[in-house]
Amino acid sequence: MLDPVFDIAIRGALAALLLVAAWHKLRDPIGFWQAVSGYQLLRENLEKPLARLIPLVEIALALSLVVFTSSSLPLVTVMALWLVYGSGIAVNLLRGRTELDCGCGGIGADQTIHWGLVARNGVLIAVTGFLLFPAMTRELVWFDYAAAGFACLLLLLIYATAEHLLRNAALLDHEGTHP
């Protein structure tokens, strides 16, 4: 069983990641549509509607993570979203298309796809999967909520650090392949 403090912290961090991702996509809808189009995984007439729909789905999932805490449906849907994103990246890497903008947005943006992003999505799936374990039922006190808040911030800092490391590793690898 999962302690409710961890449940709250992980849900909060995942919801924040989804909201930031949605905000980035809504802030630059044309850039995101071009990123979706660049993957060449959909018929052309589906790319723009999907690019408009994805941030709305991310917002809905973020909210459902914190509202519907007793349902596994939001968790499974978020895991499926991470899987679709990682699979889209993997398919294009296997095609040899390494110069694509990942469409991930976030800190610094302009990140091309690489295997580290596929691994990142695998970690996100695993972390989301932890929430499928039932949370213990116990009375929470103010300290539990404070601990959950700090744990949520710590998870977000770990994620941001990992993103920077992945981006830097990809840049260094990219520099090493050009004379």
Question: What pLDDT, in 10s, does the model give residues 137-173?
Answer: 889 899 999 999 999 999 999 998 988 888 787 677 6
Q: Are 12 and 156 in contact (CB under 8 A)?
A: no
CA-to-CA distance for 153 and 142, rounded, in angstroms? 17
Query: What is the structure's pLDDT at 84?
Result: 95
> Which residue, among 161, 166, 14, has the nearest Cα to 102 in the 3D structure?
166
Q: What are phi and psi of 68, to 5 degrees?
A: -100, 65
- How far is residue 145 from each of residues 4, 6, 114, 140, 154, measured CA to CA in Å? 9, 10, 37, 7, 14
- Kindly report the pTM of this predicted structure: 0.87
What one-character DSSP code corresponds to residue 112?
B
pLDDT in tens, 90-133: 999 999 988 888 877 654 456 788 899 999 999 999 999 999 99
35 or 76, higher pLDDT: 76
Q: Range of 118's domain? A: 4-176
Query: What is the structure's pLDDT at 107?
Result: 45
The residue-averaged pLDDT of 7-25 equals: 95
- For the cut 90, the answer to whether the pLDDT of residue 16 exceeds it is yes
Q: Which residue type, as a one-letter code, is found at position 51?
A: A
Domain count, the chain: 1
Place of tokens 């979706």: 36
Query: What is the structure's pLDDT at 110?
Result: 67
pLDDT in tens, 44-73: 999 999 999 999 999 999 999 999 988 999
Which residues, 6+ apart, have CB-to-CB distance to 164 below 8 Å?
107, 108
What one-character DSSP code corresponds to residue 94?
H
